[in-house]
């Protein structure tokens, strides 16, 4: 079932168009990563879906209702890229305030606030002023205020960018556990994060969606056999590595010192040929590995194409 539908969405700022006629759908209960380099239009897209800025053209509909009706807003939990709070409030006060604004009753808001603060790991700091929070704590507080009213769509703009490795791990686990409760759209430029929790990936470049699909589909689509050849470095071996570029079965060669990364069409043929050459030319081979390109390679390929 389609939860959110975005149709021909554009945003213009003067002469710049950071988002160009993008269309996509989010299915209920699905976790999607919005990937892209800085400046690809991820944040602008998020802000339009959250209703903070008006699209220049195009439609957004939530559960079949047009976005402009305004009703959808209680369904959305939004965490901006750099959340800012009232520093004179305590964490608990802020989350309760957010819950109240979303229409929760006082009693319900209090109970929910305590549980959600506990969940993001701010249980002990709940009664302290936000001014004394660290960057990571503010990020968690941002997450808490996004979750407090039980939204069915979570929009998280780079939720782990400001966190240390431990905090990142905790937030990723939290996202994992939230997958059953809400539809999640989160933007990131860190690929392993997306790989870890998402079932779908959308990639943006220059305001356009260049790739959109199930994680596994994309992996299969972009996976290419990869050979890693490491040799003892001398003049002859170096020349040999350089000469590999001209082989018909090799698509691309990347040489890093004494190691060559070879993207090939046909792994069987390539392996046989290279090993033959190694033995016939008596190349001092250190390491030979056959594998596939990683998602990282795919990302680089898609966003720089």
Partner 1 sequence: MRQAWLMYRKELLGMARSYQLLWIPVVFLLLVVMQPVTSYYLPDILAASGSVPEELVADFPIPGPAEVMASVLGQYSTFGVFVLVIAGMKIVSGERYGGTAALVLVRPISSASFILAKWAGQMTLLILSFTVSYAAAWYYTVQSCTFLVFLESGRAAEAGCCYNIGGSSRGNILSYYNDRIVVCRLYRYCYLELAEASHTGYKWRIRRIHAFYFAAINP
Chain positions contacting partner 1, by CB under 8 A: 47, 50-52, 70-71, 73-74, 76, 78, 80, 82-86, 88-89, 93, 97-98, 100-103, 142, 145, 149
* Minimum CB distance to partner 1, residue 175 (Å): 19
Bridge partners of 230, per DSSP, are 259, 287
Nearer to partner 1, 120 or 270 (CB): 120
Shortest reach from residue 238's CB to partner 1, in Å: 53
Question: Minimum distance between the CB of residue 50 and partner 1, rounded to whole angstroms?
Answer: 5
* CB-nearer residue toward partner 1: 53 or 111: 53
Give the nearer residue to partner 1 in terms of CB position, either 73 or 119.
Answer: 73
Residue 27 or 82 having the CB closest to partner 1: 82
Q: Is 79 helix (H, G, I), strand (E, B) or coil?
A: strand
| Nearest distance, CB of residue 96 and partner 1, angstroms | 9
Cβ at position 141, least distance to partner 1 in Å: 10
47 membership: H or E segment, kind and range: helix 42-50
Give CA–CA dist 51/101, Å, rounded.
16
Structure tokens at 45: 């897209």
Nearer to partner 1, 148 or 198 (CB): 148
155/241 with CB nearer partner 1: 155
E-only strand ranges, the chain:
2-13, 16-27, 31-35, 57-62, 65-66, 76-79, 153-157, 183-188, 200-205, 208-214, 225-231, 250-256, 259-264, 285-292
Cβ at position 71, least distance to partner 1 in Å: 8
Work out whether the CA dihedral 63, 65, 71, 76 comes out positive or negative.
positive
User: Alpha helices, DSSP H only, in 120-266?
Assistant: 135-147, 165-178, 191-197, 215-222, 235-243
Q: Going by DSSP bridges, is the β-strand pair 31-35/200-205 parallel, antiparallel, or unpaired?
A: parallel
């Amino acid at each position: 079932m389609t939860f959110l539908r975005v149709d021909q969405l554009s945003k213009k700022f003067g002469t710049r168009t950071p988002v160009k006629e993008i269309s996509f759908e989010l299915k209920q209960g699905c976790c999607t990563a919005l990937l892209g380099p800085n400046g690809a239009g991820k944040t602008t897209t998020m802000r339009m879906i959250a209703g903070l800025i008006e699209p220049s053209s195009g439609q957004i509909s939530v559960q079949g209702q047009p976005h402009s009706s305004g009703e959808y807003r209680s369904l959305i939990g939004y965490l901006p890229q750099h959340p800012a709070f009232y520093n004179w409030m305590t964490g608990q006060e802020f989350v309760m305030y957010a819950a109240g604004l979303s229409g929760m009753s006082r009693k319900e808001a209090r109970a929910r606030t305590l549980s959600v603060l506990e969940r993001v790991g701010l249980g002990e700091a709940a009664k302290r002023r936000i001014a004394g929070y660290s960057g990571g704590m503010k990020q968690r507080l941002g997450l808490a205020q996004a979750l407090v009213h039980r939204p069915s769509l979570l929009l998280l703009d780079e939720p782990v960018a400001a966190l240390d490795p431990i905090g990142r791990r905790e937030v990723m686990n939290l996202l994992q556990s939230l997958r059953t409760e809400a539809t999640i759209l989160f933007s990131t430029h860190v690929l392993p994060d997306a790989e870890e929790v998402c079932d779908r990936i959308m990639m943006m470049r220059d305001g356009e969606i260049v790739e959109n699909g199930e994680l596994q589909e994309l992996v299969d689509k972009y996976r290419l056999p990869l050979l890693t050849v490491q040799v003892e470095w001398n003049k002859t071996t170096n020349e040999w590595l350089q000469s590999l570029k001209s082989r018909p079965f090799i698509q691309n060669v990347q040489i890093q010192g004494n190691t060559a990364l070879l993207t090939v069409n046909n792994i069987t043929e390539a392996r046989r040929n290279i090993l033959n050459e190694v033995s016939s030319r008596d190349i001092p081979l250190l390491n030979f590995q056959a594998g596939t390109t990683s998602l990282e390679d795919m990302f680089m390929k898609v966003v720089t194409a």
